Amino acid sequence: MKPPVSAHPPTRCSVCGSSDLRAFGDKDFGESGADPFEQRRVFADYGVRVAYHQCGSCRFTFSAAFDNWSPADFETHVYNDDYVLSDKPFLSERPLRNAAIVAGLYHRERESVDILDVGGGKGVFAQALREAGFSAATRDLYFMGSEVAATQRFDLITTFEVIEHVRHDQQQAWMAALAGQLKTQPSARVLISTELIAPDHTIGWWYLCPRNGHISVHSARSLGLLASAVGLRLFSVNPSMHWLAPAA
């Protein structure tokens, strides 16, 4: 089934509001993040081109091709039974590696820190932390639903490889919801993983992969702007891993 993408170009950057949007190129819907690792095209061409755009001001790089899609559409065309083929570490390798990182960083606080994993797939990360003595819950729109009430607040919110899947026009609301579940004390933290786009990246960059649902890729500037709009400050460990902390 061919995914019904929209060719309607966006008019404004959803992060900074600039109207300086530039065509960044397009690629087939079937291009996946697994391709460079397996050195082959994992999915055949769908014959459907997906256009990306880049903001000339903040360099947020995104596709508007899925602007009309409901969660059910994403489930049909992206987060379906073949999804794992586009990202094999998704099932257990990545969540277990990230659980080990967090368990190490917070080991002295494991009985007091409340952790929420947003977009945590099937809950492997939170389960591993619970087995290590932590309190950890998962919220995932597609794979789990939510184990927590929207009003519950947390000391640490983790969200690994998620923000790039959120539609450009929902980025601000998504970040606001994240901030809304963070406790207000200065020690509260958000830990985000997503690959930041660099000035020399082009449409051929592997992380712009439609079959994985990578439709919103941030620059350091755009991620910082999104965070500061909800009172958080960005500290990047490297181009992949980022802390958000209360700004004041």
Q: Which two tokens stand for residue 246?
A: 């209360």
Question: Binding marks (x or -) toward Zn ion, 2..21, rule CB under 5 A?
Answer: -----------x-xx-x---
Q: Are 65 and 23 in contact (CB under 8 A)?
A: no
- Asked if 217 is part of the footprint of Zn ion (rule: CB under 5 A), the reply reads no
Please state the closest distance from residue 234 (CB atom) to Zn ion, in A.
15
**In this complex, which beta carbon is closest to Zn ion, that of residue 55 or of residue 126?**
55
CA–CA distance, 187 with 113 (Å, rounded to integer): 11
CA–CA distance, 232 with 7 (Å, rounded to integer): 34
How big, in percent rounded to 5, are the helix, strand and coil portions of the chain?
Answer: 30, 20, 50
Please, which of residues 27-56 interact with Zn ion by CB under 5 A? Answer: 55
**In this complex, which beta carbon is closest to Zn ion, that of residue 20 or of residue 109?**
20
Helices (H) and strands (E) in the chain, counts: 7, 11
**In this complex, which beta carbon is closest to Zn ion, that of residue 52 or of residue 79?**
52
Please, which of residues 55-84 interact with Zn ion by CB under 5 A? Answer: 55, 57-58, 60
Residue count, binding to Zn ion (CB under 5 A): 8
Beta strands 114-118 and 135-140 are parallel
**In this complex, which beta carbon is closest to Zn ion, that of residue 59 or of residue 214?**
59
Residues that bind Zn ion (CB under 5 A): 13, 15-16, 18, 55, 57-58, 60
